[in-house]
């Protein structure tokens, strides 16, 4: 059995930023559907997908680990995440 981490391992295969803001009421299954339908990726690949809200003061990260989704959430009290705008490379 692989070791388990409370946060993602440093050896993640891929990390993707979903640039448009999302509705933060979405949970793991809805985010996985977004990954599959809008990005065309397999949400079960083990990659980490990061999402932010409109105010860019919260972040959710979705990752498949062995037998289920892991959903990480962080809310900043006063600062904002620096997030690339949609359409820019």
Share of the chain above pLDDT 70, in %: 83
pLDDT in tens, 23-62: 999 999 999 999 999 999 999 998 999 999 999 999 999 9
User: Please, what are the domains in the chain?
Assistant: 15-75 (3.30.505)
Q: Average pLDDT of 68-81?
A: 90
Global model pTM greater than 0.85: no
User: Degrees (nearest 5) of the Cα angle 28, 34, 35?
Assistant: 90
Q: Average pLDDT of 65-85?
A: 87
- Measure the CA–CA gap between 17 and 6, rounded to whole angstroms: 21
């Amino acid at each position: 059995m692989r070791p388990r981490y409370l946060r993602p391992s440093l050896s993640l295969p891929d990390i993707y930023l979903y640039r448009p803001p999302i509705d933060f009421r979405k949970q793991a299954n809805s985010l996985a559907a977004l990954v599959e339908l809008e990005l065309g990726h397999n949400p079960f690949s083990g990659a980490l997908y990061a999402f932010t809200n409109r105010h860019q003061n919260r972040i959710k990260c979705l990752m498949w680990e062995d037998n289920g989704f892991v959903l990480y959430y962080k809310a900043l009290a006063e600062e904002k995440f620096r997030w690339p705008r949609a359409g820019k490379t």
